[in-house]
Amino acid sequence: MTFSATVVRVLLASPGDTSADRVKAREVIAMWNAEHAERLELVLVPVGWETDAVPEWGSHPQEALNRQLVDGCDLIVGVFWARLGSATPSAPSGTAEEIKRCADSGKPVLLYFCRRDVALDQVDPDQLIALRAFEADIREQVLFDSYGDDAEFSAKLRRGLTKVVNDQFLMGDRDDLAEEPEASATARPARGTRLTSPPVPKQQPRLAARLESHGRSRRLVLSNSGTVEMTGVDVEVPAEASSFHLVTNELPIDILRPGERVALLASLVMGGGVSIFDVTVSGSTPDGERASFPSKISI
């Protein structure tokens, strides 16, 4: 059965390392439409360079994408993981340019940072540094969110889409999304207000260590899998692990941000000592409290 509907074009903006998240975002949008579209007479249409851009000659690729996709969208979903993306003539990356262009034109922005672990051999250090600099630069002017797995991303994106639709695109007596019963016309921000899903309510410090093999060498990889920056990060190896040694002068680590990893060279001495033990990774939270986290290591 056909029905008339308002079409809201949702631009998916992200660097190349988030292809799986882009697929998941399309699935979330499809599920949202299945539940709400007919009742609300409103359809969300995902838009992305991989499905909607066409070849064009005579201008920078990002300029072409801006004309073809960015300027015609109504809402943008931005996702970052371990890369910021390739620079453009006017921005540190194409994704960053698309987000700023939409924000500057008053369109809603849903911005998410993935905190999943990433394989050490897949990390471009320069890209990760650029991404963290971008995150720090926008922290005072943008409300963004983070997630650790597909289920958390789906739930947060679904909630973000629901809130933006309710606040920005519904009219009259259709303003009745079940997931936002408290929303009302009097509480609705003016069109063009930047909106995002709220951050994780409770800030969680969490550090971990894992031993990785790279050919004949071993590395103890420290990771911040929590939601807050940790400073003065250090490692304590128990005395009974006498065959395990860290070969580094990097400790303590000044700062380890959420999602970041640091690899420390380790050496093994044959004979003596236990083969399974706990190393303790510790660090200070933003409020100055010291927190410690044991990690099981097997050599």
- CA atoms lying within 13 Å on the CB side of residue 44: 30
Mean pLDDT, rounded, for 31-46:
93
Asked if residue 119 belongs to a domain, the reply is yes
Task: Specify which of 47-51, 179-183, 222-226, 260-264 reaches the highest per-range mean pLDDT.
Answer: 47-51
Q: What is the pLDDT of residues 124-134, one digit of tens each?
A: 999 999 999 99
Residue 36 and residue 130 in one domain: yes
**CA angle (122 as vertex; 117, 123 as ends), nearest 5:** 75
Give the residue-averaged pLDDT of 150-177. 82
Residues 173-192, mean pLDDT to the nearest whole number: 45
Same domain, 157 and 15: yes
**Do residue 21 and residue 165 come from a single domain?**
yes
Q: Per-residue pLDDT averaged across 143-171, rounded?
A: 91
Q: Which domain holds residue 59?
A: 6-174
Question: Domain holding 42: CATH number?
Answer: 3.40.50.450
Residue 202 within any structural domain of the chain: no
Banded model confidence at residue 272, pLDDT cuts 50, 70, 90: low
Q: Are residues 238 and 134 in the same domain?
A: no
- Structural tokens at position 209: 């260590």
**pLDDT above 60 (res 43):** yes
Give yes or no: residues 214 and 170 share one domain. no
Instruction: Confirm if 167 and 183 have CB atoms less than 8 A apart.
Output: yes
- Per-residue confidence at 176, pLDDT binned at 50, 70, 90? low
Q: Examine the domain organization and report whether 129 and 251 are in the same domain.
A: no
DSSP letter assigned to residue 17: G
1 domain residue, yes or no:
no
Q: How high is the mean pLDDT of the chain?
A: 85
10 strand-pairing partners: 46, 75
Residue 197 contacts residue 163 (beta carbons within 8 Å) = yes
Any domain includes 90? yes
Whether 120 has a pLDDT exceeding 90, the answer reads no
**Residue 195 pLDDT:** 41
Q: Are residues 123 and 227 in the same domain?
A: no
**Domain count within the chain:** 2
Query: What are 77-108's pLDDT values in tens digits?
Result: 999 999 999 999 989 999 999 999 999 888 99
Flag whether pLDDT at 137 surpasses 50.
Answer: yes
pLDDT of residue 219: 86
- Does residue 218 fall inside a structural domain? yes
Q: Residue 186 has which token pair?
A: 């009097």
Across 145-175, b (16+ Cβ under 10 Å) vs e yields bbbbebebbbebbbbbbbbbbbbbbbeeeeb
Q: Is the pLDDT of residue 198 over 60?
A: no
Residue 181 lies in a domain: no
Q: According to the model, what pLDDT value does residue 181 have?
A: 42
Over range 243-257, report the average pLDDT. 88
More confident residue, 221 or 46: 46
pTM for the predicted model, two decimal places? 0.59
- What's residue 179's pLDDT? 47
pLDDT of residue 108: 93
Packing angle between helix 19-40 and helix 150-164, nearest 10 degrees?
40
Q: Which two tokens stand for residue 197?
A: 């899903």
**What does the pLDDT look like over 57-71, one tens digit per residue?**
988 999 999 999 999
Of the chain, the percentage scoring pLDDT greater than 70 comes to 87
Which CATH number does the domain housing residue 215 bear?
2.60.40.1230
Whether 126 contacts 182, CB under 8 Å: no
Closest CA to 247 of 219, 208, 269: 219
Is residue 12 within 8 Å of 48, Cβ to Cβ? Answer: yes
